[in-house]
Amino acid sequence: MASSDVARHMVYQSLVGIKATCVSSQPCKEEKISDDSPRCLTMTGYVGFESLPDQLVSKTLQQGFCFNILCVGETGIGKSTLIDTLFNTNFDNSVSSHFHPNVRLKAQTYELQESNVRLKLTIVNTVGFGDQINKEDSYRPIVDYIDAQFEAYLQEELKIKRSLFNYRDSRIHVCLYFISPTGHSLKRLDLLTLKKLDRRVNIIPVIAKADTITKCELQRFKLRLMSELVTNGIQIYQFPTDDETVAHLNASMNGHLPFAVVGSTEEIKLGNKMVKARQYPWGIVQVENENHCDFVKLREMLICTNMEDLREQTHVLHYENYRRCKLEETGFKDVNLEKKPVSVQEAYEIKRYESFGELQRKEEEMKQLFVKRVKEKEAILKEAERELQAKFEHLKRLNQEERMKLEEKRRALEEEINALGKRKAACELKASF
């Protein structure tokens, strides 16, 4: 073995974790090192993979980001105004009425850019939510829409030629659930809808138009809402605390949920600066003043700090739950009854065999049902035939009786005619004499 080949062989062994006991032209014994304990090596010069984060950032900036928000709340509660305030722009929002026969979802996508970061923002609004007399199924269109986006992504994943890089992800990343500032408790519609949504989407509850209740009432209202959510087993999105850089901030913000917000795109001059605010006869409510409302907290948590975590949770938690349930429904399993791994081909063959058996069983049931119905039909036809035969015999007897009566009348008439003929002849004979 040449010296260059020996060196190459030694480098290969060090990379794959194999310890060579000898390096010669003779066969050598090798001992395999566990993959759980990778070797830590010290580099003697610059390699360049430290630029990986920069490469990732450059590629991500070139591709852009997408973020999809679902706004659930009654008509006129301030959903569109809050979204306009959050993103400091004016989206095209048409005024909705309270006379929609059912709930429908309206999705609008916008291209936003801040510095060199492009964001494809989709706002999905619930039109007519809570306006119907019968609100029992008001949540159904929302659930169906969320599941439809999951199904579209799953179908793209299952294609032979996938294009996930260029696929426009329409899955809902966060649901802003707007709660009316009643100061009492959640409505039954709110509880039912939240219960149906918490396993499908990241829910951030917000108290809309929070400037309509006092601070003391607001604090009691928040405590009552969180207590009701816990009592009814409704899981809302909790800001993550596993990242040390934002753990303290997110933990603090979790204690402020639900956020009490006020939205306004109107700017009012206050002192020497213009601020977004709502002006009342008794004073001014500043949207970005944390003493007045939680709008800044919501914007910080939703956009500046946890937007990527919301996107990640949607993919690794909610979408994975949907994907697992759909694949399990179709018969795919990771392990068999003996707890051994099952390949996709094996799962397909098992499902195919089960489907074939189910098809044969249903075919046999259909045959038996067909034979049973044929026999029932034959019995009905035979009974009808017997009834027709009996009716025919009855009519035949009646006909014979009528014929016999007519024959008797005919004979009686013939006899009467003969008698009349004889009498006529006798009369004519007498007249001739």
The answer to whether the predicted template modeling score (pTM) of the entire model surpasses 0.75 is no
Residues 303 and 394 in one domain: no
Q: What is the mean pLDDT of residues 372-397?
A: 94
How far are the Cα atoms of 62, 188, 322, 349, 383 from residue 352, in angstroms, in the given order? 44, 44, 23, 5, 46
Q: How many domains is the chain built from?
A: 2
Q: DSSP string spanning 89-154? A: S----PPP-S--SS-EEEEEEEEEEETTEEEEEEEEEEETTT-SS--TTTTHHHHHHHHHHHHHHH
Q: DSSP string spanning 263-324? A: ----EEEETTEEEEEEEETTEEEETT-TTT-SHHHHHIIIIIISHHHHHHHIIIIIIHHHHH
Q: What is the mean pLDDT of residues 72-100?
A: 82
Question: Could you report the per-residue pLDDT of 134-178, keeping only the tens digit for each?
Answer: 777 888 999 999 999 999 999 888 888 887 777 888 999 999 999
Alpha-carbon span 195 to 228, nearest angstrom: 12
Alpha-carbon span 244 to 58, nearest angstrom: 25
Tell me which residue range forms the domain holding 233: 61-330
Question: Could you report the per-residue pLDDT of 227-283, keeping only the tens digit for each?
Answer: 999 999 999 999 999 888 888 999 999 988 899 999 888 888 887 888 888 888 888
Alpha-carbon span 238 to 225, nearest angstrom: 15
Q: Name which of 389, 369, 366, 365 is nearest 377 in CA terms.
A: 369
Alpha-carbon span 382 to 90, nearest angstrom: 78
Residue 178: strand, helix, or coil: strand
Q: What is the mean pLDDT of residues 61-86?
A: 89
Residues 306 and 388 in one domain: no
Residues 127 and 256 in one domain: yes
Q: Name which of 18, 83, 24 is nearest 302 in CA terms.
A: 83
Say whether pLDDT at 181 is over 60: yes
Q: Is residue 270 part of a domain?
A: yes
Residues 182 and 310 in one domain: yes
Specify the pLDDT at position 300. Answer: 92
Specify the pLDDT at position 1. Answer: 43
Out of 273, 300, 330, pick the residue that ends a domain.
Answer: 330
Residues 106 and 140 in one domain: yes
Specify the pLDDT at position 13. Answer: 42
Provide the percentage of residues in the chain whose pLDDT is more than 70: 86
Residues 66 and 159 in one domain: yes
Q: pLDDT band at residue 7, thresholds of 50, 70 and 90?
A: very low
Tokens (6 digits) for 381:
């036809």
Q: What is the mean pLDDT of residues 106-113?
A: 90
Residues 275 and 384 in one domain: no
Tokens (6 digits) for 30:
């090798």
